[in-house]
Amino acid sequence: MFEAFTNQPIRLIGEDGSRTQPFELDLGVDELLQIHRDMIRSRVCDERLIPILRQGKTSFYAQSTGMEATQIGIAWGTRKKHDWYWPYYRDNGLILTLGMPLKRWISQLLGSNDDVCKGRQMPQHFSDPENHIASICSAIGSHIAPAAGTAIAQKYLGTDEITICTFGEGATSEGDWHAGVNMASANKAPCLFICENNQYAISLNVRDQTNSKNIAVKGHAYGIPGFYVDGQDVLAVRAVVKQAAEYIRAGNGSVLIECLTYRIGTHSSSDDDSRYRSKEEVESWRAQDPLVRFERFLEKEGILPAREEIEAYYGSVLAEFEEALSTSDASGYPTWEILFDDVYSDLPDHLAQQAIYVREENL
């Protein structure tokens, strides 16, 4: 049983892959290897999207390399297709592990005809109703209150579903964050708030945006447990999330978890990270690669696949990516003809008239 409000991040695996404390592993070999594959898949897709951005096939992308342990750990600690998720725009590993089809994600990034929103949403603002993933909003912290509302509805309906709401540490300085967490706490709503603290809100370091010693301690203000976890340790994240989810499902109200991690890439496609952090800092975190740490753990457990097998999996993910990209691109791109679609079941007369005008102008 993990305790809340620890001074140091909760950790199960050390940098060298050794167990930092005795613990009973409730995952079989197949499950551990699937977690490994999920981390690789997230990394490969993230790295492959950079050249896609530079080729002009999409106009915006938020990288997640370095945050795989946090995002895959969250997915493995909750109930896929059962619980509901309000993620943020960098949750690439989370949505893929929850089951969102790669083609759907890429179609959204490209804004092609295969995109469910037909290019109307900003790139990287995905959603996936079949996997209970709500749509992204760029306005930081604006999804916290809707997530709290989802959780209050779950409590009202008496289901054993919970709501998982993720965000960066920058969101915790927004008024919407405080309003949403307070609303969930006051209603004892089944909501799991998870801060993916990658230490930079665009260019602002976490030390310059809050005087709190960490984010987890903010749970005190709302009377809910706050857990501080090593976000580079996939087993620690998964274990704490699982414990918190069970606590919430038992009717005890909301929980806050902080996963201390780091984004290796830039904030987005539109910033120069060399202006606000040093190369040495980035390299020091690159050396703490969560994927490498987990591979060291698997090796010590005697179950790490042969390097040839791992490389073959990398290749299969790349092939899957290229197939999804090719199919999405080949579906074509929306034209002006969709301007009047998907809002009204029966188009009002004044819009129908406008549609005629636009059509005549484009003939």
Beta strand 200-201 with 204-205 is antiparallel
Contact by Cβ (8 Å): 151, 162: yes
Contact by Cβ (8 Å): 38, 237: no
Angle, CA of 122, 60 and 164, to the nearest 5°: 65
Cα 230 to the chain's mean position, in Å?
Answer: 16
Q: What six digits make up the tokens of 173?
A: 């300085």
Compute φ and ψ for 205, nearest 5 degrees. -70, 150
Give the HSE-up count for residue 265: Cα atoms under 13 Å, Cβ half-sphere. 19
Give the HSE-up count for residue 89: Cα atoms under 13 Å, Cβ half-sphere. 24
Q: Catalytic site residues?
A: 263, 267, 276
Q: Which of 302, 229, 199 is nearest to 13 (CA)?
A: 229
Cα 192 to Cα 162: distance, rounded to the nearest angstrom: 7
Beta strand 226-230 with 163-168 is unpaired
Calculated CA dihedral for residues 331, 333, 336, 340, nearest 10 degrees: 60
Q: What six digits make up the tokens of 309?
A: 């097998």
Cα 176 to Cα 263: distance, rounded to the nearest angstrom: 24
Q: Which of 164, 270, 162, 178 is nearest to 215 (CA)?
A: 178
